[in-house]
Amino acid sequence: MLLAWSFERVPSARVATFENGSRQGLASSTERKRDLALNLGASTGVGHYVIVSVTAPREFLDVLTDCAAELGTLGSYESGDDPVNLTFYFRPPLHEEAARSAFLESVPSHTAGMVQVSFTTETDRDWEQEWRRNLHPLRVGRTWLVHTSWQSPAGYPTRIPIVIDPKMAFGTGTHATTRLCLEELERFPLRGTRVLDVGTGTGILAIAAARSGAENVIAVEIDHEAIACARENLSLNGIGNTVTLREGTIAAVPEHGFDLIVANIELRTLVATGEELRSRIHPDGRAVFSGILQQEAALFVQAMTKAGWQTIRRTREFDPATGDGWVCCVATPSFPAGAKSKLSLEISGAGRARIELAHPANRTGRPYSRRSWRAAWM
């Protein structure tokens, strides 16, 4: 029987769809294995299946995954860049030689020697319990401790705990992009600020902002299951009154003037919404963008510059689990071309001076920023 399965290729993200309709997106190897294990449990009822490991040039990824689908795979995950490592899961029995021949015949005959296929069998394993046993509290940056509801934060008294039960949503702190965003949040004085989290997933970044003292956080997400997961995590962290969840695209957030926008989503969506995000930032605000592969960073900065953003800092992290390099960009709203700042000086008769620096108006006509200094002399 051919099970419903597909593998979708999109820039900066890998998305697998399993038999039960669940999806896994931009995720670390640990998250992908956990999601896969939960899906396999739903598909088979027991952990008894054949694992087929295929190593091949990346150009053959699509034909190999199509071949696996025709053979009846339950699901898969990939790692590495080029060559790519593909792992497929099948319900036994699976005729190994027939399956090997099918994979090798799916690529041009003169390249068959570049494709390596191996087989193993897993039996009687409780995947969810094994994943839970192997998952440990995660320290991120100087501040954060990410742990699940069944783990104790004891032993880390100086760190701010974030409780995350991931389920099928992205954002547990194990992926490089999530860590980079959390580390950037440490740099901002968020007490009393307004924050927008775009593509919240598990809600981890919205929770971190609220834990840092943000007065109001709006978290938006298009995936219904992720919204449900984020809602549970907000409850676990006791910050439901600070964070507002909204299901939908950025259009679900008509508010403007956010002091911080954080968006850890795939590059294509970041670029497509660049101008909309720009219209929602406070003139003196900052934005943290991630979900960007290192080789795409220059194109991303160029596209966001056209959308009205000025990148002021980039941080990078290499993910050994996937072989990918990830980038996080911090940006500010940029001034329109040809705009100039205005400096004014006012001296009072009482020996006091007032200096005012007003930056130019943005496209909406509002001033970008206005800072004042008062000075007194003897």
Q: What is the per-residue pLDDT across 12-41, written as a single tens digit (0 to 9) for each?
A: 333 333 333 333 333 444 444 444 443 444
Of 284 and 73, the structure prediction assigns the larger pLDDT to 284
Interatomic CA distance for residues 359 and 296, integer angstroms: 32
Report, as an integer, the average pLDDT of 223-230.
90
| Residue carrying the six token digits 């995936």 | 223
| DSSP strand pairing (116-122 vs 84-90) | unpaired
Query: Where in the chain is CATH 3.40.50.150?
Result: 169-333
As a whole-number percent, the residues of the chain with pLDDT over 90 amount to 41
Tokens describing residue 183: 């580390």
Q: What is the CATH number of domain 6-129?
A: 3.30.70.240
- The pLDDT, as a whole number, for residue 62 is 84
pTM of the complete model: 0.61
Interatomic CA distance for residues 78 and 314, integer angstroms: 27
- Computed over every residue of the chain, the mean pLDDT equals 77
- The pLDDT, as a whole number, for residue 27 is 40
Among candidate residues 56, 50, 43, the one with its CA nearest the CA of residue 16:
43
Query: Where in the chain is CATH 3.30.70.240?
Result: 6-129
Q: What is the CATH number of domain 169-333?
A: 3.40.50.150
